[in-house]
Structure formats: C-alpha cells, structure tokens
Homo-oligomer: A and B are copies of this chain.
Amino acid sequence: MTHVNPYYVNLKDSFLFYETKARAEAFEAAHPERRVLRLGIGDVTLPLAPVVIEALHKAVEEQARKETFQGYMPELGKDFMKRAAAANYARRGVQLEPEEIFVCYGIGDDLGAIGGLFARENRVAVVEPAYPAYVDTNLMAGREIIPIPGTEENGFLPLPFPGLEAELVYLCSPNNPTGAAYSKAQLQQWVDWANAHEAVLIFDAAYEGFITDPEVPHSIYELPGAKECAIELFSLSKSAGFTGTRLGYTVVPKALIREGKSLQAMWVRNRSTCTNGVSYILQRAGEAALTDEGLRQSRASLGVYRKNADLLTAALERCGIRYFGGQNAPYIWLRCPGGMDSWSFFDWLMEQAGVVGSPGVGFGACGEGWFRFSCFSTPEVTAEAAARLEAILPRLQGQTDP
C-alpha cells in the first residue's frame, strides 16, 4: 500500500482565499441585486505596461519562425533575464552574480519548492501575520512552526528576542497583510541574529515596488551580512502587474553556506532536476518590465494603487478606525471595530456594506480581531467601497471596542 504524505493532516481544510471567495460567491448568488465590492485578494487590475506587451508580441513572433525559435530554456534562467535582475539590484547598490539569480514563475511557486533545500528537522519561525503558504508549505514537509506574533504594540514588526530558537525564519517586508515595513536598522537585527545563530532567513520582497520611505530597504542584501544568511524571493506580480502573467526570481547567494554545503549549489541541482526552465516568452516580458522604461511605465499603475490606499485610509481615519499600512505597501490592516473577531467582521461587512476583505486571523492567530483591505481594485470600486465604509462603520464604533 502506498503511504501518503502523513503531514497533510496538520493542515487546515481550506486555504484562506478559497474560503473568502466561496463565502463571497455564496453571498452574491443569494443576493443577485447587490453589487459586491472586492477588496480581498491582492490581485492587480491594471494592464501590463506597453513595453512589456511589445516584448511579449516580439517573443511570440520569434516562436513562429524556425530561425528564431527557442526550445528548452536553461533551468536557472536565460542570461538576458538574469542580467535584467542583476541590473535591478545594482540600482540599489547590491551586486549579485548571475549564478546567484534563479528565474522562476513567481514567489508562490518558489515558496512551494524552496523547502526542498532543508531537512525536516528544522524549526521554522514565521513572523506573523503572514501569507499562509509560509506555514502551510512547511507543515506539509512535517516541520515545526514557531509563530512570532506581530502586535499593535510592536507595530507588527517583531524583532528577534532572547531565547528565540529556530533554524529558518520567514519574513515579508513590506508586509502582507499588515503593510508594515522594517527599517534598515530593524531588518539588520534579523540579519545579525541569523548570522549569530547560523539560521537562514527566507525574505519575501514581493511588495518592494511600493516602498516610498528611504529608510525601508528594497532588498535584504542592502544590509551587511545578508548574503551570508538570506534567500530573497522577488516577483513582478505586484510591482508590474504580472499576477496572471507570471515571472519572478529567487536569489540564493554563493556566500550562504550551512553544514559546509553551498545552498546556491544545492538550488542549482534542485532546479535543474525539478524544473524544465521558465517560458522564453515570459522571460522576455520580465526583461522588459525591469528596464528603466518598464519600471517607469509600471510606476504609473503603482500610483493608481497608492491613491486607492489614500481613499481607504482617509475613510478609516474619519471613522476613527485604527489601522496600519497603506504606505510602502498596497495593504491596509485595520482593527475590526466594535470588538468583532475577524470572520464576524468579514460576514458583517459583506452583508451590511457589500464589501469583501480578508479576515486577519487567516494570516495567523495574532491577526484575530484584524482585517485586511487590498488597494489593487479599480479607483471606482475603491471610491465606492470607501464611501460605503464611511457610511456604515460609525454604527459599530464605541460599542465594545477594546
């Protein structure tokens, strides 16, 4: 009898975004007359930049002709795409070798695979609230999870503390879901802790494109010592609208050695065994997105999402609701008013205002009583949602808010 993976029993039945989508769809089916506004899942709505579209068409045309046809890609990425990624780091003063950059389809995909580098026995600290895949991919591998709670008191930016024992640490800054972002000085504490403990940091830089504060690092490698302890995951999903197009990269520096093994060499072996390379067409799109012109064009979209954030935060402020984020990040993290728990507020808000968000508890136990709005919807939907919030939230205020 084949033995199935025994660790799936440790997983909750459904994934957060499945559940919220299912509840929203059930609500819509029951109330066809209501217009439901979705500020839940963090999915972009603006089209790809013109230079990216142009690069995609050109690459498609190359696949149409024998003379320019591209077969198997190198499993670790085409040189042109690695150079584009390296140039993006060079803009921040970070020097990486092409062999340290691994082209992939995005962070979600490499998060699912990166655990293959590590033994089951490692303890995994997750700075929470967090994207659920950090926890779930490690539960599937049978690893022990140590949640490191973000709280209102630590500004949802917990730092290493005496007695913390873990071999892997997942960090996301600017953070999904709280929007909080570590300063260089704060993130340096994690780097120094990891080097002192010979731990490995898995750093999710998905929201790098939203940073405006000069004190917030765009890459963990801006900090001394990070190449000796950190793997960084980057994606064009949010910064260039690639959620449905897919492209990203993972950085495993050559200086990252554990138990005498080069994790970079192990990741070369892993990717060249477990993948067949990333679509040529998509790599050309990624290259275009990371040119100066590509970044310039994408910034226009990011500006639209920032204005969405301003609309929502202004409404929350007028209602006296406590929140984090909305700056350096496309998420707003708010205290559920009236002392409600996350799922109660999800249901209440959907039923009363027709607005769908994400329950904070879905990102970890410390998210209970909190709620996430995404700023990626259209300006029109966001403005309407802000107006509905402002009309309805005062009803709950002062009821039993702790």
Contacts from A to B (Cβ < 8 Å):
1-6, 8, 11, 15, 18, 41, 43-48, 50, 53, 56-57, 60-61, 63-66, 69-73, 105-109, 111-113, 116-119, 121-122, 132-133, 136-137, 140, 167-168, 197-200, 237, 241, 243-246, 258-259, 261, 263, 266, 269-270, 272-282
A-B residue pairs in contact (CB < 8 Å), sample of 27: A2-B118, A2-B259, A4-B266, A5-B116, A5-B117, A8-B266, A18-B272, A43-B71, A45-B69, A46-B69, A53-B64, A63-B244, A105-B275, A105-B279, A108-B274, A109-B274, A112-B273, A112-B274, A116-B140, A140-B270, A237-B276, A244-B277, A244-B279, A246-B278, A246-B279, A279-B282, A282-B282
Q: In the docked arrangement, what's the CA distance between A237 and B71, Å? A: 9
Question: Chain B residues with Cβ under 8 A from A47's Cβ?
Answer: 63-66, 69
> Does A245 lie within 8 Å of B44, measured CB to CB?
no
Q: In the docked arrangement, what's the CA distance between A44 and B64, Å? A: 13
Question: Chain B residues with Cβ under 8 A from A122's Cβ?
Answer: 2-3
Question: Chain B residues with Cβ under 8 A from A70's Cβ?
Answer: 244
> Does B72 lie within 8 Å of A41, measured CB to CB?
yes
User: Which residue from chain B places its CB closest to the CB of A271 in the assembled complex?
Assistant: B112
Q: In the docked arrangement, what's the CA distance between A112 and B57, Å? A: 30
Question: Chain B residues with Cβ under 8 A from A273's Cβ?
Answer: 11, 15, 112, 132-133, 136-137, 140
> Does A64 lie within 8 Å of B43, measured CB to CB?
no
Question: Chain B residues with Cβ under 8 A from A237's Cβ?
Answer: 276
Distance (Å) between the CB of A119 and the closest chain B CB? 4
> Does A8 lie within 8 Å of B119, measured CB to CB?
no
> Does A60 lie within 8 Å of B53, measured CB to CB?
yes
Nearest first, the 6 A-B pairs at minimum CB distance are A112-B274, A108-B276, A3-B119, A43-B71, A70-B244, A1-B198
Q: In the docked arrangement, what's the CA distance between A132 and B274, Å? A: 10
Return the contact of A246 from the options B64, B168, B276 (Cβ within 8 A): B276
Question: Chain B residues with Cβ under 8 A from A8's Cβ?
Answer: 261, 266, 269
Instruction: Tell whether A269 pairs with B15 under 8 Å between CB atoms, given A1-B167, A43-B72, A245-B280.
Output: yes
Q: In the docked arrangement, what's the CA distance between A246 and B283, Å? A: 12
Question: Chain B residues with Cβ under 8 A from A258's Cβ?
Answer: 1-4
Distance (Å) between the CB of A30 and the closest chain B CB? 23
In this complex, the member of A41, A70, A243 whose beta carbon has the largest number of chain B beta carbons within 10 angstroms is: A243
In this complex, the member of A15, A261, A269 whose beta carbon has the largest number of chain B beta carbons within 10 angstroms is: A269
Question: Chain B residues with Cβ under 8 A from A280's Cβ?
Answer: 244-245
Instruction: Tell whether A53 pairs with B45 under 8 Å between CB atoms, given A5-B266, A72-B243, A258-B1.
Output: no
Return the contact of A245 from the options B116, B241, B279 (Cβ within 8 A): B279
Question: Chain B residues with Cβ under 8 A from A133's Cβ?
Answer: 273-274
Question: Chain B residues with Cβ under 8 A from A56's Cβ?
Answer: 60, 63, 281
Distance (Å) between the CB of A132 and the closest chain B CB? 8
Q: In the docked arrangement, what's the CA distance between A335 and B76, Å? A: 33
Instruction: Tell whether A279 pairs with B279 under 8 Å between CB atoms, given A57-B57, A64-B50, A119-B5.
Output: yes
